[in-house]
């Protein structure tokens, strides 16, 4: 049985002061994580403070990226060791915005997933097709190729730690969400790929989130699907009531 997992991705939209205020407010009201796990992925500057404010609660705090190298001359980047040194054990990897704007190629995404796993950080591995891929009928091929490359060289036991986020790029931040049926069809394709690659135990253990204009009003329709185990949520995770409602509706 896979436990649903809701992760908020604040991107570059929340200041440190707002982030700390949010955690203070939300932790007073969060349910226990017996039935659903939840996380907030914030800018690096806020992670330490958020971790401190979240002590004693089930709220997980995650990064939005990490660098694949252990250390070195990578000005402005964040290492896995720096994240774990403040207790951060979750990171979004290969978000489409990073793939598009920050040179997160499939090869680098693979290296980042490996580095995260080496440090005991759960990667939320993002995959998803462009609108033109969907319109040309190649969405499945594109997503499977992204997965294959992102997971190359990662054996079954380690792959079970990965969370996959299926995020059709055309649905991110656009208000145009995928239909629950289309999202389920792709998540089933992803599950089948994982089954073929790793066998049933690992394929059934890996959680697959849907992401793309998820909000409190539509999250239940995604959660009702067999192969959708949670959501990666941008815009609707930035407001305390909306974030709580997402968890409530899961
Ligand atoms: C995201 O940032 O991964 C995302 C899905 O954003 P939104 O929910 O705003 O579409």
- Residue 153: CATH number of its domain: 3.20.20.70
Q: For ligand 1, atom 7, name the residue with the nearest CA.
A: 234
Cα distances (Å, whole numbers) of residue 163 to 36, 45, 158, 221, 223: 14, 24, 11, 20, 16
At 61-102, the pLDDT tens digits run: 999 999 999 999 999 999 999 999 999 999 999 999 999 999
Out of 68, 167, 184, 249, pick the active-site residue.
167
- Closest ligand 1 atom number to CA of residue 171: 10
Question: Could you tell me if 19 and 10 are in contact, meaning their C-beta atoms sit under 8 angstroms apart?
Answer: yes
Task: For residues 211 and 186, give the distance between their C-alpha atoms in angstroms, rounded to a whole number.
Answer: 12
Q: Give the mean pLDDT of 39-43.
A: 98
Question: Could you tell me if 128 and 170 are in contact, meaning their C-beta atoms sit under 8 angstroms apart?
Answer: no
Q: What is the dihedral of CA 64, 65, 66, 72, to 10 degrees?
A: -110
Host domain of residue 209: 5-249
Residue 169 has pLDDT above 90, yes or no: yes
What is the tally of structural domains in the chain? 1
Question: Could you tell me if 128 and 138 are in contact, meaning their C-beta atoms sit under 8 angstroms apart?
Answer: no
pLDDT at position 230 is 98
Q: For ligand 1, atom 4, name the residue with the nearest CA.
A: 234
Residue 1 has pLDDT above 90, yes or no: no
Task: Report the relative pairing of strands 122-127 and 37-41 from DSSP bridges.
Answer: unpaired
Q: Is residue 213 a known part of a binding site?
A: yes
In the chain, what is the greatest distance between 2 CA atoms, to the nearest angstrom?
49
Mean pLDDT in the chain?
97
Nearest partner of 9 among 247, 238, 241, judged by Cα: 238
167 counts as catalytic: yes
Q: For ligand 1, atom 3, name the residue with the nearest CA.
A: 234
Cα distances (Å, whole numbers) of residue 116 to 45, 99, 150, 195, 238: 19, 17, 12, 22, 25
Neighbours of 108 (CB within 10 A): 18
ipTM confidence score:
0.97
Q: What pTM was computed for the model?
A: 0.97
């Amino acid at each position: 049985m896979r436990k649903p997992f809701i992760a908020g991705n604040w991107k570059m939209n929340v200041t440190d002061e707002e982030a700390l205020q949010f955690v203070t407010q939300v932790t007073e009201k969060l349910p226990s994580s017996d039935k659903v796990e939840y996380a907030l992925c914030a800018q690096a500057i806020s992670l330490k403070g958020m971790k401190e404010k979240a002590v004693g609660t089930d709220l997980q705090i995650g990064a939005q990226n990490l660098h694949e190298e252990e250390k070195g001359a990578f000005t402005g980047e964040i290492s896995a060791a720096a994240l774990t040194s403040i207790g951060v054990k979750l990171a979004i990897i290969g978000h489409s915005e990073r793939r598009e704007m920050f040179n997160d190629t499939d090869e680098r995404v693979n290296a980042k997933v490996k580095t995260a796993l080496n440090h005991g950080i759960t990667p939320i591995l993002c995959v998803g097709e462009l609108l033109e891929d969907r319109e040309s009928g190649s969405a499945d091929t594109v997503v499977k190729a992204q997965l294959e490359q992102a997971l190359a060289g990662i054996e079954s036991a380690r792959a079970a730690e990965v969370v996959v986020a299926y995020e059709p790029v055309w649905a991110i931040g656009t208000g145009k969400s995928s239909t629950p049926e289309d999202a389920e069809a792709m998540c089933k394709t992803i599950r089948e790929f994982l089954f073929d690659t790793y066998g049933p135990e690992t394929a059934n253990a890996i959680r697959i989130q849907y992401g793309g204009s998820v909000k409190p009003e539509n999250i239940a329709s995604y959660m009702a699907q067999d192969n959708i185990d949670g959501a990666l949520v941008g815009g609707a995770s930035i407001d305390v009531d909306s974030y709580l409602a997402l968890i409530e509706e899961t």
